[in-house]
Amino acid sequence: MDRPGRINRFLEQRYNMEAVRGFVDKQIHKRLPPHTGWLHVFGSLSLFLFISQTITGILLLIYYRPTPKEAHESIKYITADVQFGWLYRQIHAWGASVMIAAVVLHMVRTFFWGAYKKPRELTWVTGVLIFIVTITFGFTGYLLPWNQIAFWATTVGTESANKVPVIGDWLQYFLRGGDAVTGETLSRFFVVHVIILPWVLTGLVAIHLFLMRANNLSTLEPVGEERPMDPAKGIPFYPVHVAKEGVVIVLLLAVLVALSVLSPWEIGEPADPLETPEHIKPEWYFLPSYQLLKYFQGPYGAVIGVFAVSLPFVFLFFWPFIDRTKERHPKKRPLSVAIGLFALSSALVLGILGYYSGKQVTLFGQRYRVTELGWLEPAANEAHPERPAKSEPALIIPGE
């Protein structure tokens, strides 16, 4: 008897392999709705990126040291001395941003296709939780290199915690492990990033996938009018949709490697608690919140600002229970689509304003300074315009 046959016989004598094979077969050959296409790959892409982050994260863990004295040095060691350490570090750093983008795109597709509606509300709710955990991954991981940008981004981020009414001071003290960002903060963020969040996300993803498979992918038919799918018309998950996902994953890997080589993340200067660098900005996924916070000023501004920044997440979480209309097709629910487009464009505008705030730009031949609130004012010294720093290219509109 050949080896595969022997292994199968060994397993069959001990376990109900017919049930296992039946389950796997059913999942692999499940039929998806006919409209399932390239826009339905972002969920699998997000899952792939989570696996990639886990693997590269484990590799980095071997050499990373989570103390203020050694963290920055260990990153330098990984980048300069460990074989392919630079590659794994870059893939991990870029992978974080790409994963957040993939999750957002997946949510956007789900939103506009109305796939969050009954009976898939809980799938959406677990998806929102996955989104929040993914952003928290980014926030906690950002501190670990212990460079200037990491230190001060975390200082500002955790400072916002004390604006929460009643429990704010305790919350900030707990998050930081003390009054200021120190080695205690680094320890806590390390544990959260490396142990707690991976398990939480694994659990959420497992529930999310189970719920998704239980209901199958949504069609574009109205709620309550979904017809049982004709298997002859459905798209087989394997090999058709798996092939599409495979193509996208290979492209994604190529993009990650290209970014790692062509636009590597800097190691930066070691954290200095006595020097805040000029013009520090958070990562792109925090820019909309960063900019929005600036519009709430005065003694209660920060408190109101923190609530304003939290509101989108609350709306996202409860959205399937707010939008109870039956239609799924985007053309048949203009109000939801308008709200979605408004939210996306607001986030985009705030993000752009956040990026350019404090910088000088050239518009139609005139030099302007973008204020912190996003207004344009003539640049202070027009006789000798500042050359933009290499890492902060000015926006130049043709006309100069």
Task: Tell me: does residue 296 bind other proteins (CB under 8 A).
Answer: yes
Residue 44, token pair as written in the block: 């699998």
Structure-block tokens of residue 133? 């955990």
Q: Which residue of 16, 27, 276, 345 would you call a contact of other proteins, by CB under 8 A?
A: 276
Closest CA to 323 of 81, 129, 110, 25: 110
> Residue 307 interacts with other proteins (CB under 8 A)?
no
Q: Binding of other proteins at residue 301 (CB under 8 A)?
A: yes
Q: Say how many residues touch other proteins, by CB under 8 A.
A: 35
338: burial class by Cβ within 10 Å (0-12, 13-18, 19+)? exposed
User: Please, are residues 368 and 399 in contact by the beta-carbon 8 Å criterion?
Assistant: no
372 touching other proteins, by CB under 8 A: yes
In the complex, what is the shortest distance from the CB of residue 284 to other proteins, in angstroms, rounded to a whole number? 17
Q: Distance between CA atoms of 235 and 277, rounded to whole angstroms?
A: 54
Least spacing, CB of residue 280 vs other proteins, in Å: 7
Q: Which of the stretches 78-86, 118-126, 294-302, 343-351 binds other proteins when contact is defined by CB under 8 A?
A: 294-302
Stretch that binds other proteins, among 26-34, 180-188, 325-333, 388-396 (CB under 8 A): 180-188
Regarding 334 and contact with other proteins (CB under 8 A), the answer is: no
Roughly how many angstroms between the first and final C-alpha of the chain, as a whole number?
Answer: 79
Helices marked H in 216-300 — which ranges?
242-262, 287-294
Binding flag, residue 165, other proteins (CB under 8 A): no
For residue 70, state whether it binds other proteins (rule: CB under 8 A). Answer: no
Task: Pick the binder of other proteins from 158, 218, 260, 289 (CB under 8 A).
Answer: 158
- One of 176, 208, 241, 328 touching other proteins (CB under 8 A): 176
Comparing CB distances to other proteins, the nearer of 138 and 178 is 178
- Told to check if 142 binds other proteins by CB under 8 A, we report no
381 contributes a contact to other proteins by CB under 8 A? no
Return the beta strands (E) in the chain as ranges: 31-32, 235-236, 360-363, 366-370, 376-378
Instruction: Supply 111's token pair.
Output: 């939103």
Taking phi first (over 0 means left), then psi (-120 to 50 degrees means alpha), and beta for anything else, what does residue 382 get?
alpha
Question: How many whole angstroms from its chain centre is CA 397?
Answer: 31
Residue 235, helix vs strand vs coil: strand
Compare residues 1 and 274 and give the one whose CB is closer to other proteins. Answer: 274
Task: Give the binding site for other proteins (CB under 8 A).
Answer: 152, 155-156, 158-160, 173-174, 176-180, 182, 184, 273-280, 293-294, 296-302, 358, 371-372
